Amino acid sequence: MDLEEQIWQALREIEDPELPVAITDLGLVRDVRVEEGRVLVRLIPTYSACPAMRVIGDDIRRRLLALEGVREVSVEVTYDEPWTVARMTEEGRRRLTAHGLSVPRRGTWEEPVTCPFCGSTQTTLENLFGPTLCRAIYYCRACGNPIERFKPPLDSA
């Protein structure tokens, strides 16, 4: 396995500190550049003020510097394109749903919110501000569970 493949494998093993999902399955890794032992990893945050980016960056540096052939690691958070749910892999969606998070398909406010516990779309927004900046709290009227959902981008209203 060449160095770039080793780097991608290591990135697939790093989980988001707030969710049980790999950063690659969430679609946070925009790209990786490798040149003579120097690695640049560019990330797209789920939300512009995401506090997890610092922890993720530290995890990336620690993990990649342990690889033979890596001398230097830079992590850059980029805002030139917004993160959307379309960046998630199917595995990421599956793991988030199993964790009890509603994952929209299109990532718009108009899209029905599906309960990850019972599959109902009889849900109501309870609080726009969830446990993290990128999530909102909904309530399922069918099964009575509170649920979290990724917020769509601000321009999708």
At 131-145, the pLDDT tens digits run: 988 899 999 999 999
In the chain the beta strands, taken as DSSP E runs, fall at 29-35, 38-43, 72-77, 101-102, 123-127, 135-140, 146-150
Q: For residue 107, give the 3-state DSSP assignment.
A: coil
- The Cα–Cα gap between 64 and 45 comes to 20
pLDDT at 157: 46
Give the pLDDT mean for 9-24.
96
Asked whether the predicted pLDDT for residue 147 surpasses 90, the reply is yes
At 104-117, the pLDDT tens digits run: 877 778 889 999 99
pLDDT at 156: 47
Cα 75-80-84 angle, rounded to 5 deg: 90
- Is 89 part of any domain? no
Q: What range does the domain containing 24 cover? A: 3-77
pLDDT at 154: 58
Q: Are residues 7 and 73 in the same domain?
A: yes
Other CB atoms closer than 10 Å to residue 89's CB: what's the count? Answer: 14
Domain count, the chain: 2
At 35-75, the pLDDT tens digits run: 999 999 999 998 888 889 999 999 999 999 999 999 999 99
φ, ψ dihedrals at 102, nearest 5°: -85, 125
Threshold 0.85, pTM exceeds: yes
Q: Are residues 118 and 66 in the same domain?
A: no
Residue 67 sits in a domain of what CATH number? Answer: 3.30.300.130
User: Per DSSP, what are the bridge partners of residue 125?
Assistant: 138
